[in-house]
Structure 1
Amino acid sequence: MTNINVLDPGASPLDYYGYELRRLREAAGLTQRQLGEIVNYTASLVGQVETARKLPTAEFSERVDAALGTGGTLSRLVALVMRSQLPAWFQQVAELETRAVRIHTFHTHLVHGLLQTKAYASAVLGALDETDLEDRTAVRLARQCIFEKAEPPVLWAVVGEAVLHQKIGDEATMREQLAHLLTFSRNPRINVQVLPFSAGAHAGLQGSFDLFHFANDPDILYTEGYGTGHPTANPDTVKDCSLRYDHLQAAALSVKDSAELIRRVMEDRYGEQLA
Structure 2
Amino acid sequence: MAGIPSVQRRRLASELRALRESADLTIDQVAQQVTIGKSTLSRVENAQVSVTPRNVAKLLRLYGVADDDAAGLIQLAHDAQQYSWWNDYSNAMSDGLAGYVAFEDEATQLRAYDVQLVNGLLQTAEYTRALLQAEFPEGPPEKIEERVEIRLARQRILDRSKPPRLWFVLDEAVLHRPVGGPQVMAAQLGHLITTAQRPSVTVQVLPFRQGAHMGMGVSFALLDFGDHPTVVYQENLSGALYLDKDYHVDTHGLAFDHLRATALSPADTLAFLRMRAEVMLAQGARESPNDDHPSWPGPGDLA
Q: Same fold (TM over 0.5)?
A: yes
Alignment of 1:1-275 (within 5 A): 78-83=85-90, 85-129=92-136, 130-131=139-140, 132-271=143-282, 273=285, 275=289
Give SS of 1:126's match: helix
Structure 1, residues 216-266: CA drift from partner, whole Å, max 9, x if none? 111111111113010111101110110000000000001110110111011
- Displacement of 1:88: 1.9
- Displacement of 1:170: 1.5
- Displacement of 1:96: 0.8
- Displacement of 1:162: 0.7
Matched AA of 1:100 = A
- For the 8 Å contact 1:185–1:256, the answer to whether it is kept is no
Larger Rg computed on CA atoms:
2
- Decide whether aligned partners of structure 1 residues 12 and 254 sit closer, same or farther in structure 2, where only a CA change above 3 A counts: closer
Give SS of 1:156's match: strand
Residue ranges of structure 2 left out of the alignment (5+ in a row): 5-82, 290-303
Residue ranges of structure 1 left out of the alignment (5+ in a row): 1-9, 14-75
- Displacement of 1:190: 1.1
Give SS of 1:127's match: helix
- Decide whether aligned partners of structure 1 residues 183 and 252 sit closer, same or farther in structure 2, where only a CA change above 3 A counts: same
State how many pairs are aligned. Answer: 204
- For the 8 Å contact 1:224–1:230, the answer to whether it is kept is yes
Give SS of 1:207's match: coil
Matched AA of 1:198 = R
- Decide whether aligned partners of structure 1 residues 12 and 107 sit closer, same or farther in structure 2, where only a CA change above 3 A counts: closer
Cα RMSD (Å): 2.1
- Decide whether aligned partners of structure 1 residues 216 and 262 sit closer, same or farther in structure 2, where only a CA change above 3 A counts: same
**Structure-2 separation of matches of 1:90 and 1:117:** 19
- Decide whether aligned partners of structure 1 residues 11 and 186 sit closer, same or farther in structure 2, where only a CA change above 3 A counts: closer
**Structure-2 separation of matches of 1:243 and 1:233:** 15
- For the 8 Å contact 1:83–1:139, the answer to whether it is kept is no
**Structure-1 separation of matches of 2:252 and 2:211:** 19
Runs of 4+ in 1 over 2 A off after TM superposition: 10-13, 76-80, 82-85, 269-272
- For the 8 Å contact 1:118–1:137, the answer to whether it is kept is yes
- Decide whether aligned partners of structure 1 residues 82 and 146 sit closer, same or farther in structure 2, where only a CA change above 3 A counts: farther
Q: How does the TM-score come out when normalised to structure 2?
A: 0.63
Q: Percent identity over the alignment?
A: 34
**Structure-2 separation of matches of 1:232 and 1:100:** 15
**Structure-1 separation of matches of 2:249 and 2:3:** 34
Q: How does the TM-score come out when normalised to structure 1?
A: 0.70
- For the 8 Å contact 2:92–2:146, the answer to whether it is kept is no
